[in-house]
Structure 1
């Protein structure tokens, strides 16, 4: 766990100020270090459970936001998720549905990309194979319950690709791979997380750059900030994935446990 600087006795503002030079070197032009850290601070104030997370994991998640140019806010670009990791309160970085779309568009290879929910009363047809087809006509009035999700992408060379998953497929995937299925975005923003899931499934088959895939691979990882690392994609994910189907306990604020002050 190499952070490049001690965290004992530091406030959140101290730690953010300390890492600002590293953020300035990594952040894309459409963001500034001050804006990103201000948004991150707001996220922490909104969710006090983040204040008891290890400083190394919290700073690591913020740096991942910086390097990918995604804002950790309710806009759905990225999330800072507190959870128990091997009994320790950690902060996990998650890319949101809109964040995935933003990263895909930046590749310059895609002309259109989207994910949609299919309701019970919608007209929906799809077929894989040599004669692929995808048709979705939303119903007027009461569309009924959501039964499927699909994503599609059109490429600038004229090609296209799509992926369809049932709502049950989404739930099974969530239960198998998410460390935070009972709280956070999966509870507060299920629809967006479902769209993200079907979009990520599609991206596995899309002809997109290695750099883009490295960015997507950082989704749902816990990494400790290291000021000497040039890219957070090089940092080892410390998430204990072996018990992902068993460990679903959300981090709680223990009154006897220290938390990072502002």
Structure 2
């Protein structure tokens, strides 16, 4: 895994513990050796610094965060090989601390650079959209985006699909909103965090996080960056604390998402296993 260099910024901070535009630039210059040490070759140091400055200008509340946390999160972003531009990832204030959050677009970028993963896609399903999970000999996901209701109605599910460079069968993961809520609710303060502001983004990231448990990774540096980014859990939500439902707890939709015979729910005869294993998959 990529190792973020030990922070030598220390507990020292500007007067009154708060940064401004001028002091931020001066203090950021002090961590440039750390940034250079972890930043991948395809991202110039100048570009990374420029994006960080723009991010701070757009969200001046970052200057109220602990300088130590702000600069360390900048180093984490550089280590992941992503830009804190609001698309690949974002550094956001959480109280007095700054938090680096890789976003779905950033994970897609890292996947494209990966040694074994050709692509990862993830989408949310809004209530009223046509969404169908087909199992059996011709397994596939059918989803028709309705632009008239996308973002205007509640989310009912999310899914992710990964394709490998070796041409093998896609790896799929599907979660109902009930399952996603279980992850979200591991943090009782979710209404004040990214789940409130970016619910669809967090739902997509949650299903990617579950999918990642089944992905093959090599020792390739780009694979390591992708693993690190996926494993960056939100500061307020532990995505690893993802309780697997039992057959008794699932509704028919959830059963289909897990490849469980709905009759088994009523009869309490079958417990849930891992969602659709690679061995069971048939090419779409």
TM-score in terms of structure 1 length? 0.71
Matched residue of 2:91: which SS? Answer: strand
Structure 2 contact 108–119 (Cα < 8 Å) conserved = no
Structure 1 contact 125–133 (Cα < 8 Å) conserved = no
**Match in the other structure for 1:83:** 94
Q: Is 1:8 aligned to 2:13, yes or no?
A: yes
- Higher Cα Rg, which structure: 2
Q: Is 1:99 aligned to 2:106, yes or no?
A: yes
**Match in the other structure for 2:210:** 201
Instruction: Report which stretch shifted further, 166-175 or 107-116.
Output: 166-175
Structure 1 contact 148–167 (Cα < 8 Å) conserved = yes
Q: Which fold has the larger relative contact order, with Cα–Cα distance below 8 Å and residues 6 or more apart in sequence?
A: 1
Matched residue of 1:176: which SS? Answer: coil
**Match in the other structure for 1:229:** none
Q: 1:46 to 1:183 in 2, by over 3 A?
A: farther
Q: 1:70 to 1:140 in 2, by over 3 A?
A: closer
Q: Distance in 1 between matches of 2:45 and 2:34?
A: 9
Matched residue of 1:182: which SS? Answer: helix
Gaps of 5+ in 1: 222-238, 245-262
Q: Note the 1:41-190 alignment, pairs <5 A.
A: 41-75=53-87, 77-84=88-95, 89-126=96-133, 131=137, 133-138=139-144, 142=148, 145=153, 146-157=155-166, 158-177=168-187, 181-183=190-192, 185-190=194-199
More helix per residue: 1 or 2?
2
Structure 2 contact 122–160 (Cα < 8 Å) conserved = yes
Structure 1 contact 81–184 (Cα < 8 Å) conserved = no
> Cα RMSD between the aligned structures?
2.9
Cα deviation for residue 70 of structure 1 reads: 0.7
**Match in the other structure for 1:228:** none
Count of matched residue pairs = 217
